Amino acid sequence: MKILGILASHQREGINAKLLAEVMKNVDSDCEQETIFLEDYEITPRKYPEENPVLDELSNKLMEADVWVFAAPTYWRELSGVLKNFFDCMRPKFVYFKENGDTIPGPFKNKHYLSLTSCYVSTTENFLTGVTDESFKTIDRVMSAAGVIKTGEIVLPGTFGMKEIPENKKKICAKYAKKISTKKRKDDSTLKRYIQLFFMIAVMALATMGIQLGISQFISMDNFWVNYLSFTIIFFVLLSCILHIVTFKKHRRR
Ligand SMILES: Cc1cc2nc3c(=O)[nH]c(=O)nc-3n(C[C@H](O)[C@H](O)[C@H](O)COP(=O)(O)O)c2cc1C
């Protein structure tokens, strides 16, 4: 089991470096680990037919590792250019191209990743305006194309003048370090998602039938189509509300 830390900040010893170090130091001792600073590499796109040994070296490092930990600051409300450039240049290594130009996951399929980012704005402002959202979304988009599975994300807002990682974030780093230290199955969350879906449907069906019972005091539900239509409409409204709330909560980073 090997974990590769990838620092994509302008600063070798900045806040993202500390956040990444906090994760790496808590990784289980039986895991092999390595951290690279992307600015140490001259990362440029491969100009065919010329070779690009830097991309080959980085690709080998990615291949040797089971889990990648990306630490990239948020710049201009986006992913740092350092990591974006790395992703752009690595595209031919991340994906295979079909004849029509579509892509399918390449040789890194089913590896795992964890994303870290930080920003100056406060926790509240980040929660409300989602300053770091694009950073995570870009990483997720690229990793999804490469077939690499997400383990989690850590956000550190309010970094202006910050010298040390706050205790609560250190605990989160330690928690994720433990999580990435264990060997993963291909997609660990499929079963969990089906169980969640089952319970969501069970609770919503119960709520819908409860509401129908209330309505039946005023409108008769004896007719099959009235029963069916009212069930569908109530179920749909409840589902929309729950999905909206869950999506909002899930995508707000603190
Ligand atoms: C070019 C640049 C753009 C930035 N843009 C933003 C921004 O849009 N919003 C924000 O909250 N912080 C912004 N920041 C602040 C960084 O996100 C913050 O300094 C980060 O925590 C730095 O991490 P580091 O110490 O690893 O470099 C920016 C910093 C730089 C250098």
Whether ligand 1 lies within 6 angstroms of the CB of 77 is answered as: yes
> pLDDT below 50 — which residues of the chain?
none
Whether ligand 1 lies within 6 angstroms of the CB of 14 is answered as: yes
| Residue range 4-57, pLDDT digits in tens | 999 999 999 999 999 999 999 999 999 999 999 999 999 999 999 999 999 999
**CA 77 to ligand 1: nearest atom:** 8
| Residue range 116-131, pLDDT digits in tens | 999 999 999 999 999 9
**CA 15 to ligand 1: nearest atom:** 25
Report how far ligand 1's centroid is from the alpha carbon of 77 (Å): 8
Output the pLDDT for position 250. Answer: 63
**Cα distance between residue 134 and residue 138, in whole Å:** 6
Centroid of chain to Cα 105: 17
Whether ligand 1 lies within 6 angstroms of the CB of 76 is answered as: yes
Output the pLDDT for position 253. Answer: 72
Output the pLDDT for position 243. Answer: 85
**Cα distance between residue 8 and residue 41, in whole Å:** 11
Output the pLDDT for position 54. Answer: 98
100-112 burial string, b = 16+ CB within 10 Å, else e?
A: eeeeebbebeebb
Output the pLDDT for position 30. Answer: 95
8 A C-beta contact, residue 209 and residue 187: no
Peptide linkage before 45 cis (omega within 30 of 0)? no
**Cα distance between residue 9 and residue 77, in whole Å:** 14
Output the pLDDT for position 37. Answer: 98
Output the pLDDT for position 185. Answer: 63
Whether ligand 1 lies within 6 angstroms of the CB of 125 is answered as: no
8 A C-beta contact, residue 23 and residue 176: yes
Query: Per DSSP, what are the bridge partners of residue 7?
Result: 37, 71
